[in-house]
Structure 1
Amino acid sequence: MSAENIGENMGEPGPQDNLPEANHEIKTVLDLNLDFAPTDATDAGGFDPGSEGTIMGGGDSAPNEIIKRDFISLNELGENFDFCYNMQHKKRGLFVVFNQMEFDKHLKLSERKGSDKDADSLLKTAELLGFKTEEYRDLERKQIRRKLYELSEMDHGDHDCFACAILTHGGKENILYSHDDEMKLKDFTTPFEADKCRSLASKPKLFFVQACRGDLLDRGAKGIHFKQPTGDMLDFDPSKVESHSIPVQADFLISQATAPDYYAWRSSDKGSIFIQTLCSVFDRYSDEMDLMKILTRVNRVVAFNFESWTQRPDMNHMKQIPSITSQLTAELFIKKLKRNTNPST
């Protein structure tokens, strides 16, 4: 079985631009029931600048007196301080998919065949995890920005978290493409910062991005593999805490298909190796692992389970490693929705 080899290329001049279609296959080493056959294609004021952790003078202190800041130790936090997010709200929250498959001709970007398979897998997995799902296809830049604004203006008070997947072509410096123009990753995340979307403050905001981040190809490196032997909440109670301050960019997690400056691979028949692995690992481990462990396993499976094979030597035996950027402030467990088996309720 043959299929089209595709990288989520940014369309800018480079050594890998205008590559012809080629046949590829995936070397399968680890099995998570991924439906990839061997012949599938892949594609600071008041601080002394010279003093760390000190405050200079002011208040009742004598001139030039250094006042050391007090920091709370782990022991002082007490046993009731939990390191897990509250996932016991009435609703899990929204999982929004922006699926960009076709692009305006002036961008000179190819159709992203197979992206519908990724979107379907994400929506299915998100529903199993209890999310309400929404998919938007081939939106223009102004339409995406308007939708993001609407989503950030919603009341998420009863929600555990918010999640968004972006499936598109991309480039260096976190460029992502809408149907008619380029955007930046920050265009998607900024509307949900704590000072702009108050109902999501202190709650997880998750972004999954399937897109190239440049035109470099990862040729891998030979290594030795040693087999291993087998064998209370952070959402504050207003009645107990009058107020608290958090960084506006806290509680974000961004999981991207590939490392900066590199290609991300996608099959025109089966979807991308990153999204398909992400969904498979979530399906298998979400009831027992926190999100960071899940994403680390995704990294490992993609790193060891994928290698491109092509008729072109310069595209042969290429590897891929996803990238995780976490500003989460607690462990996050997103377990599958417990379905009620009694049809009368």
Structure 2
Amino acid sequence: MENWRPLEADHQKIITLYEQSDEEQAQSSDARGYFESSDGKLMPPAVYIFNHENFPTETRKGSSKDVEALRKTFEKLKCPIEVVQNPTFFMVKDTVTKLTRKCFYHLSALVIVILSHGNRKEKILACDDKEYDLDDDILFPLYENETLADKPKILIVQACKGNWKADGNTKRNPSSYIKCYSTTEGFQSYRNETKGSIFIQTLCNAMDQDGPTKDFLSIIEDVNVKVEVQSKSIGWKQKPSVNSNLTERFCFGDFVQNG
């Protein structure tokens, strides 16, 4: 950290910048300059931990141990950490609103950890038993912060995603699926009315070429890169999404008989 400025002489300047209104701070070129390192490197990510532990009718025992482990891990990585303890729905929304306006020019990324109960379709339970949405209430608002543009926004969630129990006897095997989307959640997908969609056309070309020899997950990862590049070349922004929980790689060639 010896290469970082500001030093002691700039301490009051830092305080002044952080005490600016949210709007002033987000647009402050002074803030950007003062928080850049002398060697051009960014500082470690900021970490926010939403620890939903005490609910009206129960306590999520063990959650405090997770907070301890997270603190120890991220402190080793020199990350600034803030724990939001037992947040209600309002506290979650208020904290995220402040994050959308906070200056992150000096940081390399933002990490948000959520410890709570959850349900399907990205639902998280706040400590007042009100649900919030992982995309609509956490991730999507962060896109509005220009100081986080093109920086990783990492969400780590310890929560249920439904009521099914995964065990060796169930037919609902959670380790045997791939979801392939033509675009990322919240964004448009593009289709040419004469040539078809970039995603499907690129997928078919890749399958024609590599289907017999490459596993499907590798193919779809290649497709994602090609779709993103092609989209940018014509002025679109389309980034496919893959959600996979396969324990083994699936290759079509393994099931095609020769001759």
* TM-score, normalised by the number of residues in structure 2: 0.49
Q: Which has the higher helix share?
A: 2
* TM-score, normalised by the number of residues in structure 1: 0.37
